[in-house]
Structure formats: C-alpha cells, structure tokens
Structure 1
Amino acid sequence: MKLKGIPIGISDFKKMIEENCYYFDKTKFIEDVIKDSAEIKLFTRPRRFGKTLNMSMFKYFFDVKNADENRKLFKDLYIEKSEIFKYQGQNPVIFLSLKDLKFRTFKEMENYFRKLIIEAFGDYRFIREKLDELELNIFNKILKNEDVEDFKDSLKILSKCLYEYYNQKTVLIIDEYDTPIVAAYEYGYYDEAISFFRVFYASALKDNTFLQMGLMTGILRVAKEGIFSGLNNLLVDSILDKNYSEYFGLTEREIEQALRYYEIEYKLADVKDWYDGYKFGNSEIYNPWSIINYIRNKNLEPYWINTSDNYLIKNLLSTADEEIFEDLKTLFNYQIIEKNVSKNSTLVNLRSKKDLWQLLLFSGYLTIDRKVENTMSSYFLRIVNKEIHSFFRSSFIEDFSIKESVFYNMMQSFLKKDFKNYEKYLQSLMLTSFSYFDAAQEEKFYHNFILGMILSLDKQFYVSSNAESGLGRYDIILEPKNVVNTAFIMEFKVAKNEEDLEKECDLALEQIKEKAYDTKLRERGINDIAEIAVTFYGKKVRVKVSS
C-alpha cells in the first residue's frame, strides 16, 4: 500500500487533499464555529500550529463560487456526516493572508496590502455585471488602485457587492492579522500601522450588515482598546480558553494514529518528551510542525524553533534584569515559576516583566503547568518540552548568560569608577542588545536603556530620574544610602554624527556644573560626587567623567 504524502509546508486545504497528503481531520471545528453565536472570532495560537490550514479549510467549505468542486474535498471527513454540512458552499468568501506583510516602512506595507485587496476584488470581477453605476465606479477604482480612502472601507464595500450578487452574506477570513503589526513595532512605524488597521477593521467588522461571519488568526491577544477599538462583537479564543482547544496542534490520539499509520508508534514515549507538553485550554497538545518533520525524518531534533527570528522576545530580553535571568534559569532546570498573565495586551505596552512571560507563553516557548487557585490570572509556567529546552539553551540561556556576564562587569566597573571599562562593556551591550533600527534619534530611548540597568543598583542607591535640583532637571542621580560613599550624576546627549560624541560629552559635563545638579546631594551631606556624561550616536557610545 502506498502511504499518504507527508505535508511539509502545505497550508492549503485543497492542495493537501488533492495531493493525497496525510490529514489530521479537524473538520469538526467547522461544526463548532457555526453553532457558536459569536459573529467575529479571533483565534490566537503560536506559529506553525495549523492556523492557516484551518482558515483555508473554512474558505473551501463556505465558498459559493466552486461549491460542487469543493464538496468533494470533504469526502469521508467528519463534517460530511454532520447536519452542518448543509451550509457547505452557501456563502461568498473573502480570504486575506497577511503573513507576508513584514516590511521596513509603512509605505511598503501599505502598497503590498493594497495589492492584496486588489487581488480580492479581482477574484470577483465577474460580479460587476449586477452592480449599479455608483458601486461599479468604486469597484473599478479599487481594481485600478486609484482611491486611497476607498481602501479603508474596501472589505465592507466588497461584502456589500457580493451580497447583492449572491443574495448571501459574506464570510470574511483574515489570517495572521498581527504580522504587519509586529513588523511595524520592529521597524518603528507602529502608530501609523495601528491607525490604519483600526479604521480598516472597524469598517470591515463593526456593524457590517453584509457579514455572515468573521474569522481571524494571529499569535498575540489584543486589547479591545487597541486595534479593535469599539468592536463589541469580537470573541477572542487563546491558549487560555477551552472551546476550541483541540483544533490547533495535535492531540495524543491523533499522534498515535499517525505514528501507527507510518509504522513508528514504538517511538511514542520519545516523541512525547520532545514535542508534547502544550496545554491549550483543557487539551494536551503536540507541536504539529515538529511532528510532521519527525515522521518524515524519523530523527528526534528541534524543528519548530528554527522557524522564527523571535524579535519581540529578544527585544524584551535585551534589557532583562537579574530577576528575569534567575527565572529563566529556574525554567531551564525544568522547574516552574508563578506569573500573572494578562488576557489582553497591546504591543505598545511590551515593556514590563509580565509582558515577557505573557509573550513567551502565547508564542509557544512556555506552557501552563496549572492555574494558581483562587486567583484571576496567576499561573504556574514551565518549559514545554525537550525541543524548547534545547532552544532556551542555545538561543536564550547561553546568549544572555554571556550578556549577564558583560552586564555584571559593566556595573562593577561603574561602581569602581573605572569609566574606561564601563564604556567598553556598555558599547558591547549596545552592539548585541538591540538592532540599528532600535537606535533612535531621541535621547529618551537611550535614557530608558541606561535607567533600566542602573535600577539594578537600587539596594545601594536611591535612583531618581528627571527630577529638579539646582537650576534644572538632571537625567539620572544615584544617591548612596550611605552618605560617605560616592554619588553619581549622569547626563545624556545624542550626537548628530560619530565625530561629535566627544564634543557632546563636554557639553553634558558643562551642563551638570552650570545647572548645579549636585545641589541636593550636597545639602544631604554627600561630597564625593562623580559627574558622568554619556553620549550616543546610533549604536556608538562615549563616556566621559569630569576631572
């Protein structure tokens, strides 16, 4: 008997069925969604857990254009025997995948997005024969990429046109909705992207009377006051929820069936150690990408961890403090940590420690061991399995242990007033901790970067920032808790070019003296005061102390 093909990288439901690939039957998902009364549903799961394949399945199920052809795709699958199958081929479908919207500028992202919208309209260009003159004019303008304003309302316009042609409401599917938002966060046009998509989604999903159902996927949970502002008909289903927990990823029963089919079921215990361990709602879930690759290669090794650059996580870890490193080490030793995990967040707020644990959880690097009793949102978290453990070792623990060592040496140099070595270690951290695009032109960016590290000295110093003393407001002052020890006044500047770093240091030191920032320190009886200038240009830094 010829075995079914192994669907490596296939996320199109039709292609998978027609090419006779092994398919884990998730069509009961269709039944559950149709029975659910929520009009708009957002499913958030880690990458490579079957989101796109599931959305593709929904597209072919509802699609009215090719209803008879698509009906054959569901032969012998669960949904074919369900009473819900009567809804097959009943609705026009708009399907948008935003997975490739990873651009460095807002303009590039917007141009590609408009191309996707034009393609969606192009799929239904034949309906123009039934449009009135006004609708036809708008439809053609979008096809010709002529009117910017119409693009913000494009999905509502298209769903209205489809309703008038088919006399059926539209099913709207948007896959990987958050990819352009993450890219915008990484490359510095987050506010523009949020403003654009907030209007776009409001038009498409809020009070759209021509919409039968909206299905969306992504990795991150999003607060309603963020991109989906005012969208009261949105149901968000994440790994913390129970209703759809078994439809993303693979259950143990599905794994056993697949391994038995490919005659490798005797490896189940090893497979469990490597790729099991995810807790979605009440379901125990295996990583599907890793399982499929394992079945193909029959080698136990990390597969999933090499499919992303992990920008958001590395960005948060780049300024991690000692407490976070200790928690990471605890996890690495297969122990659990207790953390509060919010159900809602926005990328703009990814600054605090709780956001790191939330991101690691929702992205698939940690899983829930159990909920803390009698709490609203506290959970015991752990590393998922051996695959993720190997990733922590190679990408987090080893990398950031090196940085931790650099950080320790840097802070020791600071306390010893060895500012030559302090500059050397600070320069090293800047080169490895954030990208060129993180390096802003505003002093505030660098100020917060240094302040985050200086706060690690709060056992020895009272650390204050942007407070008044003398004739102005200093950047940072470290006041020793023991008045006989050294105090530190730090002033920051951003140079226009690398050659001006030294000059800006001199100006910063002059400012400290002219503004008498040492006034309050001396009033408190502190006389040993180090005045430090730190200037930046991109990822370059210069440190100078007053003589």
Structure 2
Amino acid sequence: MEDKLKRGLPIGTEDFGEIIEQGSFYVDKTAFIEEILKDNAKVKLFTRPRRFGKTLTLSMLRYFFDIENKNRNRELFSELYISNSEYIKYQGQYPVIFVTFKDLKEDTWEECLKSVKSLISDLYDKYSFIRKNLDDRNKKKFDKIFYEEDGNYEKGLLDISKYLYRYYGKRVILLIDEYDTPLINAYEKGFYDKAITFFSTLYSSVLKTNDYLQTGVLTGILKVVKEGIFSGLNNIEVYTVFDEHYSSFFGFTEKEVEKTVKEYGLADEIAKVKKWYDGYKFGNSEIYNPWSILKYLKRGKTESYWINTASDLTILRLLKQANDSMFEGLLNIFNGENSVQQIDVSSEMNSMQDSQEIWRLMLFSGYLTVDKKIDEKTYSLKLPNYEVKSFFKEKFLDYNYKENKGLFKKMINALLLKDITKYEEILRKILLNSMSYHDGAKEEKFYHNLILGMLLYLDDKYSIKSNIEEGYGRTDVLMFPLNKKLNPGFIFEFKVSEKGDDESMEKAVNEALNQIKDKEYEVEMQQHKVKDILNLGIAFNGKKVKVKLG
C-alpha cells in the first residue's frame, strides 16, 4: 500500500505540464515565477551546472505565461505556491517563445547550422497560424525559414517575436535554454569562431534592440562575453552560483531532500545521500544535485549518476594540458583540501588554455563549488561531494591511460602487495605506452605529478600528502594508511637522472633513498604510529625509470 502513495519519478522528463498532469514527483519551485515578475531587469541570465533543473524551470515559465491554452494551463498551478500569490494574475498573459539549444552537439559547423535552421523552422511551424495575418513581404520572410530555405536565420528569433506581437498585441516572453551549449561544443570541436559569429547575431538581435520583447530569461553554464553577445545590453542581470538571489531555485535544498527521501522510505540513508550528492553552494544556499537525487530514488543505491554530461571531455582535455600551478591546486582539492583562485563571472571561450578559465569552467560546470568567499573575485574552492570525486578518480584513468587502464590497476595492486619489482616493471610499460618524447621533460615536478596522480586512485585507503615539510627537508609524497594494520605506509622521493645508463640511474635512486634517511622523512609517519613503512626511491630519465626499496 505504501508504494502506491509514492509519486512516479520523472527521470528524463523536462516538460512541466507532463509532470504535473501525470502526478509525478515535483518539488514546488513556482515561487521562482513570483521573483521573476518582481525583477525589473529586461533580460535575466541564470548560470548553473548541467542537469540542475534549468530546462524544467523554463518549461514551467512557458506554461505559466503562455497566452495559448491559458485556461488549461492554469489548472497545472492550482495546487502550487504561485496559485495563492498576487502574481497569479499574470498567468496566460503573454505569447511565449521557448527554444532549447541543449542538444546542439554536432561535430561540424555545417551540421550545427543545419540543426539550428531546423530548430528555428520548427518554431515557425508551431506558430504557422499567424502567417495568414502577415503582409506579403513578411510572408516571404516567414516562408523561407518555415521551409528551411535561404532565410535570415540570424534574425529568426527577432522576426518571430515581431510577428507574435502584431498578432496578439502583446510583447513576448523569450525563454532560451542552454544558450551556451553550442558554443562550448563548438570550442571542443574546433569551429568556435564560426559559431560565435552566428550566435552573437542571433542573440543580440532579439535581446538588444527588440521593441517586441517583454522580458527574456536565458540559462546556461557560462556568461560568454566574446563578440559582445551581452555588450550594449544595459538592462541585463546575470545570476551565477555566487549570487544569493534565486539561489534555492535550481537544485534541491536540504529540507526538500529530507522530505523527499522520507516520502520514498529512504530517510535512514540521508547521511549517505548527503555525502554523495550534497555540497554545492549557490549564494548562501546548500544545494543537492537534483538529477542524481531522482536517479538515487529510482534505484535505491548511491553511485555516480550526474557525471558524463556535456563538458566532461573539455574539462579532461584542459586538465591534461594544465600547467604545474594548476595541477598543484587540483591535487590539493583531490586530497580534500581547498584551492584559492581568482574567478571572474565572464568567460572568453577562446582563452581556455588559461588556468583561470579552466577553474571557472570547472566551478560553473559543477565539478567544484565555493567553500568561502575571500574577497570580491577570490574564492576558496573545493570538491562538492563524493560523486564528483569518484568522477575524477575514474576519468583520470580513462582519459590519461586509455588502453593502459588494466596495467595501471595491476601496478597499484603490486604496490599494495609490496611487490616493488612488479611495480617497477609495470610503471616502465605505462611510461613507454603513454608518454611521448616531449612528455619526458627533465623536470622532477613532472614525474612527481604523474606518480601522485596515480596514487590518488588509492585515496580510499590512504591519506596522501605532497611536498610537505618533514624532518629537515621536503618530501615528494607521503602515503598514510587509513588502516595501519592492513596497509603499509609509503614515502616516495623522485629524482631525475642526467643520463639514462644503469650507473647514473642507480646513483640517482640511491640519492633519493639517502635523502629520505638523512632528512628523517619518517618522523610524522612514526608519530602516527605507522610501523610498516616502505621508503621508495624512484629515478627517471625520459621514458626510463628505476625503482628501489630502501
């Protein structure tokens, strides 16, 4: 009997009307409508990570404002917050243009442009009934887009807003979902310059000089400033993860999650749910990942559900190219610490090699969150939850080692079994398979980061520290076992050999082991009562490696 009381879970459904009509699970966010109407900004841009309810929120606005089917749509809101608000009087009062670009992920500009034309043509088809009211000139313009001919698609949204205004005698509500998805995809696929030229005209024409616009609401991940999409638009407000206003409307609050897990008989699991899916901070609101919560309610077990969204590949590729300071900051974060970074809300996609752009993309995409604000543009960042941490742990292997993933895991097992000969043998194979000639630069830092990245895979068994003061010097890597009875502790010291011959490599690896002994790197580990301690000296020369146990 209890199961029948549970509402169906609308996983993959982003149509507000369908969810309400079917009586599916829905967290009431209609107070957002009230806030939108109080906000005098002509255009509002909301930047949030993927799958945090942006499309559903805009769908809700479409059903609320749309002048078509207004009586039927009013019923959808009868049991929701907005029905008792004075702002319910605005329901069904405006023509609405709703367009989503979330699926524009083509491989070439030609394919992308074709999809955009089809999308705008479908919009014209939806409003084909207004064609009969147009004069001959505008009928020709309408038909060119309707039939996907050589029309003026860059002004397609502006023109349809004009036609709707003339038909209804009311300005339009413009809703653009995931406006930056085609731009991020274009950057990844190598046709960003062509995409930004087209979309800048498309967006700026309908947002800047549109006398037929009542208000515009856009969603995306980033505020892209390239080519002046938003420049010259004086009456725009951008609401990011930093802002308190609207902070609780995208994603689930803790109270909403507690109520939800109770409804589905999972109240005893709240601590585990919090570990996996909580941790986002939007403004001052503590937010859970809504997509992952729905998937968890469906399957009843905690695992990674949200990951593998649009920006994964971009982020992984950028991280592989990151400089030393960028990598050091990430290592701190992977170890449960924070990284202090300068973050600007605006992004220039063509400078993605810049480390600050990478930090920004990671933050706004949901792979990092704000721990605290230090000053106007300086923030302390951290991983939000275990779901994201598990993503980095797995994707590090997938992206950096690919066909060597099996070897990598065997190497880690050899280390845990204290089979140093096997560990050295597999490490040598991985280096030969994974590194190009140029990767083998004679910098100790490079090898340090390479090995530490591998060791991070053991973070559930070890507390791993890098470049910290130990004894009378600085050690490269210390691995403290979380279970001192089950696993040994490890101290690594890396050296780069000037030459790759056996004598030179032996000399370098002995220098590493002597440094561990002379600088008394074992002090802290002994203080933590770790009795089984393995000292490892590792010498590199290009793709050559020698590992020795001290």
TM-score for the superposition, normalised by structure 2: 0.72
Q: Which of 157, 164, 170 is residue 166 of structure 2 equivalent to?
A: 164
State the secondary structure of the residue aligned to 1:243: coil
Residue 369 of structure 1: aligned partner: 371
Q: Residues 180 and 116 (structure 1 numbering): CA distance in 2 closer, same or farther, change over 3 Å?
A: same
8 A Cα contact 1:276 1:287, kept in partner = yes
1:338-359 alpha-carbon deviations (Å, 9 max, x no partner): 1111111121111111122111
The answer on 1:124 being equivalent to 2:127 is yes
Work out the CA distance in 1 between the residues paired with 2:93 and 2:354.
Answer: 47
Work out the CA distance in 1 between the residues paired with 2:161 and 2:153.
Answer: 13
Matched residues, number: 425
Work out the CA distance in 2 between the residues paired with 1:360 and 1:231.
Answer: 27
C-alpha deviation, 1:185, in angstroms: 0.8
1:381-414 alpha-carbon deviations (Å, 9 max, x no partner): 11111111211211137865999x99xxxxxxxx
Work out the CA distance in 2 between the residues paired with 1:158 and 1:200.
Answer: 12
Residue 391 of structure 1: aligned partner: 391
Q: Identical aligned pairs, as a percentage?
A: 46
Residue 32 of structure 1: aligned partner: 35
Work out the CA distance in 1 between the residues paired with 2:344 and 2:397.
Answer: 25
8 A Cα contact 2:48 2:241, kept in partner = yes
Residue 49 of structure 1: aligned partner: 52
Q: Residues 326 and 81 (structure 1 numbering): CA distance in 2 closer, same or farther, change over 3 Å?
A: same
Residue 202 of structure 2: aligned partner: 200
Work out the CA distance in 1 between the residues paired with 2:325 and 2:342.
Answer: 15
8 A Cα contact 1:224 1:231, kept in partner = no
* Equivalence map 1:194-273=2 (5 Å): 194-223=196-225, 226-273=228-275
1:244-287 alpha-carbon deviations (Å, 9 max, x no partner): 11010000111111112112212212211111110001110000
State the secondary structure of the residue aligned to 2:215: strand
State the secondary structure of the residue aligned to 2:203: helix
8 A Cα contact 1:338 1:381, kept in partner = yes
1:296-336 alpha-carbon deviations (Å, 9 max, x no partner): 11111111124446121112112123333332221122111
Aligned-partner residue type, residue 6 of structure 1:
L
Work out the CA distance in 2 between the residues paired with 1:458 and 1:328.
Answer: 14
Aligned-partner residue type, residue 68 of structure 1:
N
8 A Cα contact 2:197 2:227, kept in partner = no
Aligned-partner residue type, residue 30 of structure 2:
T
1:86-130 alpha-carbon deviations (Å, 9 max, x no partner): 111111111111111111111111111011111111111111222
8 A Cα contact 1:130 1:165, kept in partner = yes
Query: Which stretches in structure 2 are left out of the alignment for 5+ residues?
Result: 409-427, 447-497, 500-550
Work out the CA distance in 1 between the residues paired with 2:322 and 2:39.
Answer: 42
Residue 78 of structure 2: aligned partner: 75
Residues 266-275 or 362-371, more deviating: 266-275
Residue 61 of structure 1: aligned partner: 64
Query: Which stretches in structure 1 are left out of the alignment for 5+ residues?
Result: 407-421, 432-449, 460-484, 487-547
Q: Residues 430 and 173 (structure 1 numbering): CA distance in 2 closer, same or farther, change over 3 Å?
A: farther
* Equivalence map 1:81-480=2 (5 Å): 81-148=84-151, 150-223=152-225, 226-308=228-310, 310-372=312-374, 375-396=375-396, 428-429=434-435
Residue 509 of structure 1: aligned partner: none
Work out the CA distance in 1 between the residues paired with 2:346 and 2:443.
Answer: 29
Work out the CA distance in 1 between the residues paired with 2:199 and 2:150.
Answer: 17
Q: Which of 2, 12, 16 is residue 19 of structure 2 equivalent to?
A: 16
Work out the CA distance in 2 between the residues paired with 1:72 and 1:207.
Answer: 35
C-alpha deviation, 1:182, in angstroms: 1.3
Work out the CA distance in 2 between the residues paired with 1:309 and 1:457.
Answer: 31
TM-score for the superposition, normalised by structure 1: 0.73
Aligned-partner residue type, residue 361 of structure 1:
L
Aligned-partner residue type, residue 329 of structure 1:
L
Work out the CA distance in 2 between the residues paired with 1:223 and 1:456.
Answer: 37
Work out the CA distance in 2 between the residues paired with 1:381 and 1:453.
Answer: 31
Work out the CA distance in 1 between the residues paired with 2:79 and 2:130.
Answer: 33
Q: Residues 350 and 86 (structure 1 numbering): CA distance in 2 closer, same or farther, change over 3 Å?
A: same
C-alpha deviation, 1:72, in angstroms: 1.0
Aligned-partner residue type, residue 40 of structure 2:
S
8 A Cα contact 2:253 2:286, kept in partner = yes
State the secondary structure of the residue aligned to 1:393: helix
Aligned-partner residue type, residue 81 of structure 2:
Y
Q: Residues 160 and 426 (structure 1 numbering): CA distance in 2 closer, same or farther, change over 3 Å?
A: farther
8 A Cα contact 1:329 1:397, kept in partner = no
Q: Residues 308 and 192 (structure 1 numbering): CA distance in 2 closer, same or farther, change over 3 Å?
A: closer
Q: Residues 426 and 172 (structure 1 numbering): CA distance in 2 closer, same or farther, change over 3 Å?
A: farther
C-alpha deviation, 1:198, in angstroms: 0.9
C-alpha deviation, 1:146, in angstroms: 2.6
State the secondary structure of the residue aligned to 2:12: coil
8 A Cα contact 2:316 2:399, kept in partner = no
8 A Cα contact 1:198 1:229, kept in partner = no
Q: Residues 142 and 309 (structure 1 numbering): CA distance in 2 closer, same or farther, change over 3 Å?
A: closer
8 A Cα contact 2:48 2:221, kept in partner = yes
Q: Residues 430 and 70 (structure 1 numbering): CA distance in 2 closer, same or farther, change over 3 Å?
A: farther
Residue 506 of structure 2: aligned partner: none
8 A Cα contact 2:178 2:218, kept in partner = yes
Q: Residues 231 and 427 (structure 1 numbering): CA distance in 2 closer, same or farther, change over 3 Å?
A: farther
8 A Cα contact 2:276 2:385, kept in partner = yes
State the secondary structure of the residue aligned to 1:305: coil
8 A Cα contact 2:174 2:216, kept in partner = yes
8 A Cα contact 1:226 1:346, kept in partner = no
